[in-house]
Amino acid sequence: MSAPVVLVVEHEDGTGPAMVGERLVQAGLRLDLRRPWQGDPLPGSLDDHDGLLVLGGSMGPYDDERAPWLPQVRELLRQAVARDLPTLGICLGMELLTVACGGKVGHALRPEVGLVDLTPLQEGADDVLFGALGERPRAVQWHWEETENLPAGAVRLLTSERCAHQAYRLGNHIWGVQFHPEVLASDISHWGRADDTPVRALGLEPDDVVRKVDHDEPALRAVWGGMTDRWARVVASCVAPAD
């Protein structure tokens, strides 16, 4: 039996699947990484894929002129929802999922950057990905936009002090997360340099943000690596048996 194949959409340089990608490969999945910002074509359908992973990026979910492949990503997300194909949207990926399915994304009144405590919600107590996170898991945040209105039928799973919708589920196998489960300090160090001015405008020192993430790396690997392993099992369990 061949390995399940996950379509991975990367939106710009330096925003790859990182730890999530590593854990998926370790779990026996194969990644079909597409970089449309480099000219890689996106498939017209998900017929040849067993899962969909849509990553983050500095553009917003409505920035079609800046990133002309976004309409096709939104269409792939709608296809995934229609089929309940295992899907994980991270940061921009969640925002694209939101608008693709009729929700609304807007500018965050209080953007989140760096480590943030998350609060699991009762609705997510039995969720296959998030039901076993513990009371106050920490995650890396890096967003200036966020979901304002959830798509119809979405189940809220996680929240935070500044952002109401940190994670939600559509159907049984579609998840969006506003935070970045894939990154560690080495992944965000260049984000701090690129966003030096807006990060400092939040009263934060970019180098200090990176140091704190580095200090929490063991916990981040345990919590979000575990979540990734559970998503990998969902992908594998949904693969149709060969004829």
Helix (H, G, I), strand (E, B) or coil at 203: coil
**Catalytic residue selected from 10, 112, 146, 182:** 182
Q: What is the tens place of the pLDDT at every residue in 86-123?
A: 999 999 999 999 999 999 999 998 899 999 999 999 99
The CATH code of domain 5-237 reads 3.40.50.880
Spell out where the chain has E strands. 5-9, 30-34, 51-54, 87-90, 104-117, 119-120, 138-149, 155-159, 167-170, 174-177
Q: Is 180 an active-site residue?
A: yes
Measure the CA–CA gap between 8 and 34, rounded to whole angstroms: 6
For residue 234, the model assigns a pLDDT of 98
For residue 202, the model assigns a pLDDT of 92
Q: What is the tens place of the pLDDT at every residue in 158-190?
A: 999 999 999 999 999 999 999 999 999 999 999
State yes or no: pLDDT of 243 exceeds 50. no
For residue 21, the model assigns a pLDDT of 98
State yes or no: pLDDT of 214 exceeds 50. yes
Taking the domains of the chain in order of start, what are their residue ranges?
A: 5-237
Length of the chain: 243
Q: Is 91 an active-site residue?
A: yes
Q: Is 182 an active-site residue?
A: yes
Measure the CA–CA gap between 239 and 99, rounded to whole angstroms: 27
Residue 194: count other Cβ atoms within 10 Å of its Cβ. 12
**Catalytic residue selected from 10, 91, 143, 163:** 91
Q: Are 15 and 56 in contact (CB under 8 A)?
A: yes
